[in-house]
Amino acid sequence: MPRQISPAGSDPTAIGEVSAPPFARLPDPSLLFARRAQRLAGLAEGHQLGAYLRFLAAVSNAQHHIQDGLPDPEAPDIDARERARSFGMPPLDRNKPAAAALSETLERLVIAASTIDKPEAATGALDRLKQAGPSERDGMVRNVLADAIPMEALAEHVYVAAALQVHFTRLAGCLDAAALVPVGDGACPVCGGPPVSSMIVGWHGAHGSRFCACSLCGTLWNYVRIKCTLCGSTKGIGYQEIEGGPGTVKAETCKACGCYVKILHQHKDPALDPVADDVATLGLDLLVREGGYRRGSFNPFLIGY
């Protein structure tokens, strides 16, 4: 039988290998931040943003270590999850972040961050955060969850975002991946957030499939290739990369919505991390923006650049 030739622009994963990717993969909070810390430390070597990447590596390390002995996060009960699912809504509600476990997580992160080497702006921000009362902290939590971090307080929000990542990753880790349903283009099926980047994975049984990554809860969700991860358009999709680079991180641009989101070829380099490698490829952002595209993804560690 002749090998089926796929029409131009169709999903290349359909050719050859049988691939049955799961719809979503939930994060393992006991591994995610430790691996990210390692990746950030590796990326920092000889990098223009080396000092900042080392700082983020230390923050990721803190995110890993503060989990030891933290009270369990209060996951939504089965009825609430079922209700959300029947309405095509994500099980975790970003509008109701208040939880005892979250304040404890933030408090622990603030304490852990005191001992790490950091840029001057990050030192001042940590002092301000230490002095902030519960309502001020709550306001910052809401800013991060609304993807609306004010430019004048970016550094404070880095710590708050880091604490929220720990909290939501632990919540996501309690869920059942098989019970998740798609909640719309550009939205995480667990928390409703936008993707930070997407990855072509090399996992056994899913080789060559693409997954979007959530910067908040760490969930990965399957998404067709050559399709805008934000607006769902399959027309006017292009790819850009830094000339002479390793070719493992590209920007997927969309003419329909005028935005771009990076795509990581993790099947070529398993160490690639959706958050760390997004920060470390800032040069690609500058290049793509010259072409008039806007950044459509959300990364709390890459705002203000």
Binding stretches for Zn ion (CB under 5 A):
188, 190-191, 193, 214, 216-217, 219, 228, 230-231, 233, 254, 256-257
In whole angstroms, give the CA distance from residue 265 to residue 272: 8
CB of 195 to Zn ion, least distance (A): 9
Identity of the residue, 21 or 193, whose beta carbon is nearer to Zn ion in the bound complex: 193
CB of 217 to Zn ion, least distance (A): 3
Identity of the residue, 138 or 147, whose beta carbon is nearer to Zn ion in the bound complex: 147
259-265 vs 294-295, strand pairing mode: parallel
CB of 169 to Zn ion, least distance (A): 9
Identity of the residue, 109 or 172, whose beta carbon is nearer to Zn ion in the bound complex: 172
CB-based contact 293:259 (threshold 8 Å): yes
In whole angstroms, give the CA distance from residue 236 to residue 234: 7
Q: Which of 170, 142, 182, 195 is nearest to 24 (CA)?
A: 182
Identity of the residue, 43 or 188, whose beta carbon is nearer to Zn ion in the bound complex: 188
Q: What are phi and psi of 240, to 5 degrees?
A: -130, 150
Identity of the residue, 163 or 230, whose beta carbon is nearer to Zn ion in the bound complex: 230
Angle between helices 29-44 and 154-173 (to 10 degrees): 140
CB of 257 to Zn ion, least distance (A): 3
Identity of the residue, 144 or 216, whose beta carbon is nearer to Zn ion in the bound complex: 216
CB of 207 to Zn ion, least distance (A): 24
Q: Reduce the DSSP state of residue 211 to 3 states and report it.
A: strand
In whole angstroms, give the CA distance from residue 196 to residue 184: 16
Greatest extent of the chain over all pairs of C-alpha atoms, in Å = 71
Identity of the residue, 228 or 280, whose beta carbon is nearer to Zn ion in the bound complex: 228
CB of 48 to Zn ion, least distance (A): 29
CB of 63 to Zn ion, least distance (A): 16
CB-based contact 191:214 (threshold 8 Å): yes
Both tokens of 145, joined, read: 């969850």
For 11, 257, 304, the CA distances from 161, given in Å and listed in that order, are 35, 27, 15
> CB atoms < 10 A from the CB of 80, how many?
13
Identity of the residue, 165 or 248, whose beta carbon is nearer to Zn ion in the bound complex: 165
Q: Reduce the DSSP state of residue 264 to 3 states and report it.
A: strand
CB of 191 to Zn ion, least distance (A): 3
> CB atoms < 10 A from the CB of 8, how many?
5
